[in-house]
Amino acid sequence: MKTAWPLIKKIFLVIFSIHICWFLYFVFTNFSDADAVKEFRGMLLVVMAIVLVITVVYFFALRKIAVIKKAVQLAWKIIFTGYIFFFIYFLITTIFNPPITLTQLSSLLHGYGLSRDYVSYDDLGSNIKLAVIASEDQRFPDHDGFDLKAIKLAMKYNKKHPEKIRGGSTISQQTAKNIFLFQGGGFIRKGPEVFFTFTIETVWTKRMILERYLNIAEMGPGIFGVQAAAKKYFNKNAKDLTRAEAAQIAACLPNPKMYTVKPLSRYVAGRYDDIMRQMNNLDGDPDVQAIIR
């Protein structure tokens, strides 16, 4: 193992370098004219500039100072080891649903419990797939992980209604957040979320992203995944949900602890009819049908 480790590190260093360069190319080519992500792009440029300055100063002036050299080496080991763990976990979740997520663990620690039942894509049923796309991300088949138009509209809305913040996250972003990150956190979370979203959109199919999301998303206090939600709320399997039942579950997703399905909260009662109308509008879309069937 000791003789293999240097080779493994070299392989991961190549993967890491390609991954980061590819991500930066994606950001600065796809987000170049997007006002909606101007803040993120600017912050990324600042971070890159800081890293570059620190690298130059360290290489030419500080690397001979033992304490600083050790601190830089330790920081690099932490970053690089973290990337290796992420990459291995990413490969695992490419094959299997996540063993447990930080959101699920938090639910346990806060006393909500953990009810889940991972099922295959076919056993999820087409109604809940269509309902979630209609409710959360109607351009899901067409975007590359980021719906810049939705982000721009959300930012415009939030300026006018600061007391009612609306998100512009895609299903891909929510999947990346739920699998690899945590709830809340502002830019500390949003920065890595963009990186992880880019990663899953590059490797996974839309069907796989939707499958992971429908199996891990919280759909009630301590209830994760549509199969557990269908059993809890309607005493049936996910694939047997009616359109109305699927729309009710989809309606709770923005805040499943507040917007409850049973008992039916005012928000869900007022929202799920609109979701059903959007489902009817999307029903004839061949790109949507290619994903949900």
Six-digit token string for 190: 């949003």
Q: What is the pTM of this model?
A: 0.88
Alpha carbon distance 7, 51 (integer Å)? 26
Q: Would you tell me which CATH number, out of the four given (3.40.50.150, 3.30.450.40, 1.10.3810.10, 1.10.8.60), belongs to the domain 113-292?
A: 1.10.3810.10
CA 59 vs CA 14, 68, 75, 124: distances in Å? 21, 11, 15, 54
> Do 135 and 214 touch, CB atoms closer than 8 A?
no
**Residue 125 identity:** G
**What are the residue ranges spanned by the domains of the chain?**
5-92, 113-292
Task: Assign 291 a pLDDT band (cuts: 50, 70, 90).
Answer: very high
- pLDDT, one tens digit per residue, over 149-185 is 777 666 665 555 455 555 668 999 999 999 998 877 6
Q: What is the DSSP letter of 61?
A: I
Task: Assign 250 a pLDDT band (cuts: 50, 70, 90).
Answer: very high
- pLDDT, one tens digit per residue, over 190-224 is 778 889 999 999 999 999 999 999 999 999 999 99
Q: Exposed, middle or buried by CB within 10 Å (0-12, 13-18, 19+), for 201?
A: buried
- pLDDT, one tens digit per residue, over 120-141 is 999 999 999 999 999 999 999 9
